Amino acid sequence: MNLTSDLQSFVLHFGEMGSRWGINRTVGQMYALLFLSENPLNADQISETLNLSRSNVSMGLKELQAWQLVRLQHLPGDRKDYFSTPEDTLDIALTLIQERRKRELDPTLSLLRDTLLDSDGAESNGYAYGRMQEMCDLMEQVARWSDKLQQMDRNSLENVLKLANVTHKLIGLKANWSLKSNPDRS
Amino acid sequence: MNLTSDLQSFVLHFGEMGSRWGINRTVGQMYALLFLSENPLNADQISETLNLSRSNVSMGLKELQAWQLVRLQHLPGDRKDYFSTPEDTLDIALTLIQERRKRELDPTLSLLRDTLLDSDGAESNGYAYGRMQEMCDLMEQVARWSDKLQQMDRNSLENVLKLANVTHKLIGLKANWSLKSNPDRS
DNA sequence: CTGAATTTTCAGTAATTTCTGAAATTATAG
DNA sequence: CTATAATTTCAGAAATTACTGAAAATTCAG
């Protein structure tokens, strides 16, 4: 398969960005290719289009599956595995948030909770433990916020993004009211 | 300087996590140490505490400054440079969001805009260009959302986090009203 | 079952990134 | 200025990560 210049650029760019996103260059390229492709692709097609070894593509696809960023499917009358990305970009964004949280937040949150729970050292070095507590609190809030996002329906989610500017005003005006109208919250 | 076991663990853990966050192990350790330290530290103290070469610490501090995650200051009667982290963890989180956006979103957004602007190829390969357009739109929304966060005052920001669950309901109930009450928005 | 098609594993190599010590640069006290 | 303290730079070494080809494992049609 051959890519036009624009698509080629996008794929290469995505590869470079990949390293900033915690995936490597070739995995980034594979993802970009699948994202742009109207039809699902098999490993050989990817390998050929991007000039990567078949084994590298196999590992890359495994990683993309671990990230839940591609889905495996089969085409009728073809034994090969085919891969594609979700059609809805919002779905993709949600997955990205969830997976990054899992990798970047949860391990630290877990360590902080453990440390703070059985810390007799809390008095001996008050400042540092206070700091860890602050970080823990903040991370818990972000984690809860991420959970909420995942639960929201598509429509509300679009509104959260579109109306970010409005939310600010709403909260400013209505924060107290909101609390009152939700008496089931501690 | 000597760290207690808990602090040691935190610093080492943060080092490991560093690689998932786009900074390397030693830079992660340096940041963790500064974050936990009540008083600003100079490069020699960091170098000694973490067993890193002086030059490595110098480069690491430069990177942390590029991320705006530490601030340089001077102590009276001491020629050395001292470094510390902001006291407010919300400030830190905001900086992190801003800097990651700059590194992870903006370059791709820029490429996408350019590509989509002067794309005569839009017809020849409709699907791929449509895909790029979707990604571009989504990234622009996230970028705007990040801008809004930066502008908010501390109080509203805390509410955004605390009341994430409420926001959902507010938006659901009030989306139309919100739009009407902001006629200056297209 | 058998064997061809397909995917995965993995050891070795290549490429990249990180880290260091020595030298160069910069800053400042006297 | 000069001398010393402090920081930065940078070439090469060390460590890590990515990639490949060959071999092993798996899958499935017949």
The CATH number given to whatever domain includes residue B45 is 1.10.10.10
Mean confidence (pLDDT) of chain A = 87
**Residue where a domain terminates, one of B60, B84, B108:** B84
Q: How far apart are CA B4 and CA A125, in angstroms?
A: 9
Q: Do residue B15 and residue B55 come from a single domain?
A: yes
Q: Which residue is nearest to nucleotide C7 (CA to C1')?
A: A58
Same domain, A160 and A136: no
Domain end (from A50, A84, A118): A84
What lies within 8 Å, CB to CB, of A72 at 6+ separation is: A65, A81, A82, A83
Do A9 and A65 belong together in one domain? yes
Residues B10 and B78 occupy one common structural domain: yes
Q: How far is CA B144 from CA A38, A77, B5, in A?
A: 29, 46, 42
- The residues facing A66 across adjacent strands are none
Contacting residues for A67 by C-beta, under 8 A, at least 6 apart: A23, A95, A99
pLDDT in tens, A140-170: 999 999 998 999 888 877 777 765 555 555 5
A95: in domain: no
Q: Give the residue-averaged pLDDT of A114-127.
A: 81
Same domain, B71 and B54: yes
**Average pLDDT, stretch A118-124?**
71
Q: Each residue of A38-73: pLDDT tens digit?
A: 999 999 999 999 999 999 999 999 999 999 999 999
For testing contact with chain B, the best of A170, A184, A185 (most B CBs within 10 A): A170
Mean of the per-residue pLDDT values of chain B? 87
* B62 in the same domain as B41: yes
Could you give the CA distance from residue B125 to residue B120 in angstroms, rounded to a whole number? 10
Give yes or no: residues B146 and B127 share one domain.
yes
pLDDT at A175: 45
Dist. CA B44–CA B79, nearest whole Å: 13
Of the residues B35, B52, B84, the one at which a domain ends: B84
| Residue A11 contacts strand C, CB under 7 A | no
A144 with A157, same domain: the answer is no
| Same domain assignment for residues B140 and B175 | no
Please state, in angstroms and rounded to a whole number, the distance separating the CA atoms of residues A109 and A143. Answer: 9
Contact B7, B49 (CB under 8 A): no
Domain that holds residue B115: 88-151
For the cut 80, the answer to whether the pLDDT of residue B132 exceeds it is yes
Tell me how many domains chain A contains: 3
Chain B residues lying within 8 Å of A93, measured CB to CB: 138, 142
B80 and B46 co-located in one domain: yes
- Crossing angle (nearest 10°) for helices A106-117 and B5-18: 180
